[in-house]
Amino acid sequence: MRVLVTGGAGFIGSHVVDALRARGHEPLVFDVREDPAADVRDPAAVAGALAGVDAVCHQAAMVGLGNGVADAAEYVSHNDLGTAVLLAAMAGAGVPRLVLAGSMVVYGEGRYECARHGVVRPGPRAVADLDAGRYEPLCPSCGQDLSPGLVGEDAPPDPRNVYATTKLAQEHLAAAWARSTGGSAVSLRYHNVYGPGMPRDTPYAGVASFFRSALARGEAPRVFEDGRQRRDFVHVRDVATANLAALESRNRAGALTAYNTGSGEPHTVGEMARALAAAHGGPEPVVTGGYRLGDVRHITADSARLRAELGWRPQVGFGEGMREFARAGLREA
């Protein structure tokens, strides 16, 4: 299969390219890092890149929490306009298969259950609560403590920041393309991806990168809130094989199918920081009590659908992955 990988020179995209090549496919990299003219928002450039292509693996995006709404136009331009240009060109070229780099951020907070009211959806956390160190969401009906659980693909979306909103819009665009053309679209809703080649701490890097970069400088990782936020840390090579599984599977024509893409092993941010520090040889993490407005408290995936329907299984365990990542090189951007 000849596969165009947008963002194929980036962190996740480069691992997808390696996995495709190892499986005998022909990946074509479309990335401004390698060619400034390879801008997914340029219709002519995208149309030229799609010649002879069987499928597209769309990894190109502006990522991270961002800066409130100050950079909203830039996020929408890169993520949504870029996706719209790509899909229009795919429709014109008759390319029938798309795998989209989705994100768990479309859910907002994860799944919570109240002992009295069952499954509930708490709203955004109040600044006053965060300032006071009250980090856990409470039941919106009775104000009691909640138990976090695994969120499934059928949970209603509730994006909490600009980046999350653009990732949800990408899915809607892809679904519209699939209905219009009869093509098949898969969104892999990545959880917290980490591993070799992750960009060092830029304004848009993930928390694993910030911790790893601090350790490389001989500094203690600085953990926000109380460090007990639950996340699903999934290794980049496992994410790459999930893309392979999605590309090689028989997906529904005329529709978009979303799959949570996580390890299935929830860990706290504090656990991750301690595991990295121990594998790197210190220093120990520092819990700051600070916070980022727009962050959610707990978000962990139920990836059973991906396992059942596509036969995918993660291969890199948390301990093994953190030991490797503690010694792996980081990229500059």
3-state SS string for 35-55: CCCCCCCCHHHHHHHCCCCCE
For the chain, count helices (H), then strands (E).
Answer: 11, 15
From its phi and psi, is residue 145 left (phi > 0), alpha (psi between -120 and 50) or beta? beta
75 given a catalytic annotation = no
| Nearest-angstrom CA–CA distance, 138 and 55 | 44
Residues whose CB is less than 8 angstroms from the CB of residue 293 and which lie 6 or more positions away in sequence, other chains included: 68, 127, 130
Q: How far is CA 315 from CA 102, 179, 237, in A?
A: 21, 34, 8
What the block records as the tokens of 102 is: 């989705």
Q: How far is CA 67 from the centre of its chain?
A: 18
Q: What is the C-alpha separation between 154 and 301, in angstroms, rounded?
A: 12
Q: Which two tokens stand for residue 236?
A: 């980049």
Q: Choosing from 75, 135, 163, 259, which is the catalytic residue?
A: 163
Active site residues: 163
